[in-house]
A and B are shown apart, each in its own frame.
Chain A
Amino acid sequence: MAIDWRQYHCQDFYDELFEAPGQPREAARRVAEYLDDLTDAELAERRLAADLAIKVMGISFTVYSEGKNVDRAWPFDVIPRVIPRREWERTEAGLRQRVAALNHFIQDLYNERRIVRDKVFPESLLAESVNFRPQCVGTTPRNGVWAHICGSDLVRDRDGTLYVLEDNLRVPSGVSYMVENRMVMKRVFPELFENTTILPVDDYPAQLYDMLVAMSPRPLDQPNIVLLTPGIYNSAYFEHAWLAQQMGIELVEGSDLYVGDDDCCYMLTIYGPKRVDVIYRRIDDLFIDPEAFREDSVLGTPGLMRAWLRGNLALANAPGAGVADDKVVYAFVPKMIKYYLGEDPILPNVPSFLCMFEKDRAHVLANLDKLVVKPANESGGYGMLIGPRSTPEERNKFRDLILANPRNYMAQPTLSLSTAPTLMPDETVEPRHLDLRPFVLSRDPLRDRGSAYVTTGGLTRVAMVRGSLVVNSSQGGGAKDTWVVDTEADQAASGQWQSQTGGTG
């Protein structure tokens, strides 16, 4: 009957909600108590209500199956992930710092290249980057913002340290689910929101809209802002439609736009052509403009680059911003923070060893059985060596590969992703691994870091399969609502002032 937290064993991982079986962390105490007061039948009923809400609200994602695109309901776990406000404030500051440094870096790379001249960032890496766009050299977008929208993936290791695993600077997705997850939770557990100070997340579309408006090249006029989608076959189409709807802007496809001889962008409407000022594009660089990039692209609009370079059109994110979202460049972010901001990074990188450096290489070769070795230019987990699970033959093979082409390899220690209790079909709870993707909106990162907006928490993705580390929704991943909880406000409200040393994990 009901959840028994004493039976909840997190093994040797860091659990987001529990310090030990039966011992919730401070910020999670109320929700833990609330949940174990529910009977199995009540729990099942709430879960059903959540599933129904998701269906009725039409929250879905698209997967390909047998040549057709199928809308699938969003997999959702009703137990929230809870983060104490104090911890979140520090994380938020870390993200602001990081995104500011990344924008400095991209601006520098396409212009003066001080960081290369000062030998902090090796020129050879630039030449090999697949996301470097020569077309952007010499350009400065308005306010020097390249990565307007950044989604960084954070993971927590066994000892509780929160690391940045990667920065998504091209077309990061997931923010609509962050907001919708909260809507579902409010429908299903309204009581919890009455008794706990949970910081709201639904401001994002308004913040995004304001940021896009401020980018307009014609600041005095009412700007025309559109969201450019690859169309209904894209897995994030739901999000594109959702964001357009939330912001009240037009959802356009490449064929709805054209660039005139005046190098201005227009959209085709029943009233005739209408000038477009800002495009929030959800299409990768290489596909946005067949005139400048891939000629075979049918998703984009010829001439967008021309309009952008002439300053007649703003693009978010700017073309070429992806140069900073690359496995090897990632390893340099702590150095960028130091170089551009003169500060130590608040949020650590996962320690990375670049085989191009002799010292790192020696370390990697000596510890092949403990590390994860990744090729620099591959993504999606291809061509990797997972040390602890490898055979001696595999390690020998990688030793040869690394020695033959050290620049192409980097290595990281294997992380033990943190867990959180997740409701199973039989109304028991088990730990499941998760990560966190907060989103950062940059307005003026080079001069005023404080102008950035960071989502409250972010999207928590959870691997629904036992032991799995894959949180991707197309591969059995789901999501949880993410609560940033102000425990101090709660205590003040209930008149129980206690010592502030009370543990906030």
Chain B
Amino acid sequence: MLSRVADNLYWFGRYLQRAENTARLINVNSNLLLDLPRTITFGWEPLVQIVGADELFLEHYENDFSEPNVLRFLMLDERHHGSILSSLQLAREILRTVRDTAPREVWERLNDLHYFVQGRGEMVMSRTRRQDFLQRIVDSSVLVYGTLIGNMSRDVGFHVLQIGTHLEQADMTTRILDVRSTSLIDTGPKQDLAPFYNIQWMSVLRSLTAYQMYRRHVRARVNRSGVLRFLLQNREFPRSVMHCLGNIGASLPQLPQHRNVERTLWRVRAIVQDASIDRLVERGLSEFIDELQIGLGELHEALAQAYFRG
């Protein structure tokens, strides 16, 4: 396998996952805003922080984190490489260069999705049609991914793609936890907030389609430490950080052996595994997430060094 092709397949996995997770995020934030009291106005700004594009946003929209601005930025803005449209475009360009590696049907499904977002993107501005629109993006991404999983030989290219997919999911999961966990804390008098406190954690679960699985696994009411433990450390839920890292670990033996990649992966896993969630609840969550994200960044760098640069 050519290094360039491996690099492309890895990023294809990441972009596809990024488009899907961004749609999930927007959808849940929209719903959450309907539930929260008007006095709490955290609005749309956290979403821009989640995807780590604050600077770019400020550059183009100044300080105006209004709903239309943030939605446009996250969904359709081609200047923002993480927007849904950009992610799909990048995934498409990549698929074009690896046309001989991936099944033809994947190309067709991805094309459908891309043209849908490009042609109907304005729908997201209307609240009544937003949910349908976002749901269709999530569904179509799942369809693209499913077409890949169902039709691609489990060769080295497949494993590279899997690694990209799971690394991106681990990354998005930590981002969602990070912002949601800090946004609401100091916004108002504690007693007024209490009923809404858990709504917020439910929304975190929902954004990752994790609510039902959480209830089955945890069998307790939704609360902060439960959600953190579930989304960070659960080994069975596909979007938990631990599960994603486990998947990467399962794919690595299919690639040429590389000590540095393995060592980095073990280090990141240790960070997650050894975290004392109860203590994180009170303080230090942000620092912890930062540490974890740096770890994921190092894992990406190790992979790039070992396989993609040739």
The residues of A that contact B306 with a CB separation of less than 8 Å are 270
Q: Is A217 interfacial (CB 8 A cutoff)? A: no
With A and B bound together, what is the CA distance between A232 and B95 in angstroms?
10
Interface string of B69-106 (1 = CB under 8 A from A): 00000000000000000000000010011011000100
Interface string of A236-266 (1 = CB under 8 A from B): 0100010011000011110110000000000
Q: Is B256 interfacial (CB 8 A cutoff)? A: yes
Q: Is B2 interfacial (CB 8 A cutoff)? A: yes
Q: B100–A270 contact, CB under 8 A?
A: no
Q: Is A267 interfacial (CB 8 A cutoff)? A: yes
Q: A232–B93 contact, CB under 8 A?
A: yes
The residues of B that contact A252 with a CB separation of less than 8 Å are 2
CB distance from B116 to the nearest CB of A (A): 17
The residues of A that contact B100 with a CB separation of less than 8 Å are 241, 244-245, 251
Known: A241-B99, A241-B100. A268 touches B93 (CB 8 A): no
Known: A58-B104, A273-B310. A268 touches B97 (CB 8 A): no
Closest to A255 in B: B4
Size category of the binding interface on chain B: 20 to 34
Interface string of A269-285 (1 = CB under 8 A from B): 11111000000000000
Interface residues of B in 243-281 (CB under 8 A from A): 255-256
CB distance from B70 to the nearest CB of A (A): 27
Q: A270–B97 contact, CB under 8 A?
A: no
Q: Is B1 interfacial (CB 8 A cutoff)? A: yes
Q: Is B107 interfacial (CB 8 A cutoff)? A: yes
Q: Is A231 interfacial (CB 8 A cutoff)? A: yes
Q: Is B209 interfacial (CB 8 A cutoff)? A: no
The residues of A that contact B156 with a CB separation of less than 8 Å are 270
The residues of A that contact B310 with a CB separation of less than 8 Å are 256, 268-269, 273
Q: Is B6 interfacial (CB 8 A cutoff)? A: yes
CB distance from A231 to the nearest CB of B (A): 7
With A and B bound together, what is the CA distance between A268 and B97 in angstroms?
16
The residues of B that contact A58 with a CB separation of less than 8 Å are 104, 107-108
With A and B bound together, what is the CA distance between A268 and B256 in angstroms?
14
With A and B bound together, what is the CA distance between A57 and B160 in angstroms?
26
Q: Which one of B256, B308, B310 has the highest number of Cβ atoms from chain A below 10 Å of its Cβ?
A: B310
Q: Is B44 interfacial (CB 8 A cutoff)? A: no
Q: A269–B2 contact, CB under 8 A?
A: yes
Interface string of B1-18 (1 = CB under 8 A from A): 111101000000000000
Known: A58-B107, A271-B256. A231 touches B6 (CB 8 A): no
Q: Is B307 interfacial (CB 8 A cutoff)? A: yes
Closest to B160 in A: A270
With A and B bound together, what is the CA distance between A256 and B7 in angstroms?
12
The residues of B that contact A271 with a CB separation of less than 8 Å are 1, 256
CB distance from A179 to the nearest CB of B (A): 16
CB distance from B310 to the nearest CB of A (A): 3
In the complex, which of the residues B2, B97, B309 contacts A232, with contact meaning CB atoms closer than 8 Å? B97
Q: B3–A269 contact, CB under 8 A?
A: yes
Closest to A266 in B: B310
Q: B1–A269 contact, CB under 8 A?
A: yes
The residues of B that contact A270 with a CB separation of less than 8 Å are 1-3, 6, 156, 160, 255-256, 306-308
CB distance from B307 to the nearest CB of A (A): 4
Interface residues of B in 206-255 (CB under 8 A from A): 255
With A and B bound together, what is the CA distance between A237 and B6 in angstroms?
19
The residues of A that contact B256 with a CB separation of less than 8 Å are 270-272
Closest to A246 in B: B100
CB distance from B265 to the nearest CB of A (A): 17
With A and B bound together, what is the CA distance between A237 and B2 in angstroms?
18
In the complex, which of the residues B3, B93, B96 contacts A256, with contact meaning CB atoms closer than 8 Å? B3
Q: A231–B2 contact, CB under 8 A?
A: no
The residues of A that contact B4 with a CB separation of less than 8 Å are 253, 255-256, 268
* Top 6 closest pairs, chain A to chain B, by CB: A268-B310, A245-B100, A270-B307, A268-B3, A241-B99, A270-B6
A-B contact pairs, 27 of them (CB 8 A): A57-B104, A58-B104, A58-B108, A231-B97, A237-B96, A241-B99, A241-B100, A245-B99, A250-B2, A251-B100, A256-B3, A256-B4, A256-B310, A268-B2, A268-B309, A268-B310, A269-B1, A269-B3, A270-B2, A270-B3, A270-B156, A270-B160, A270-B255, A270-B256, A270-B308, A271-B1, A271-B256
Residues of A within 8 A of B (CB): 56-58, 231-232, 237, 241, 244-245, 250-253, 255-256, 267-273
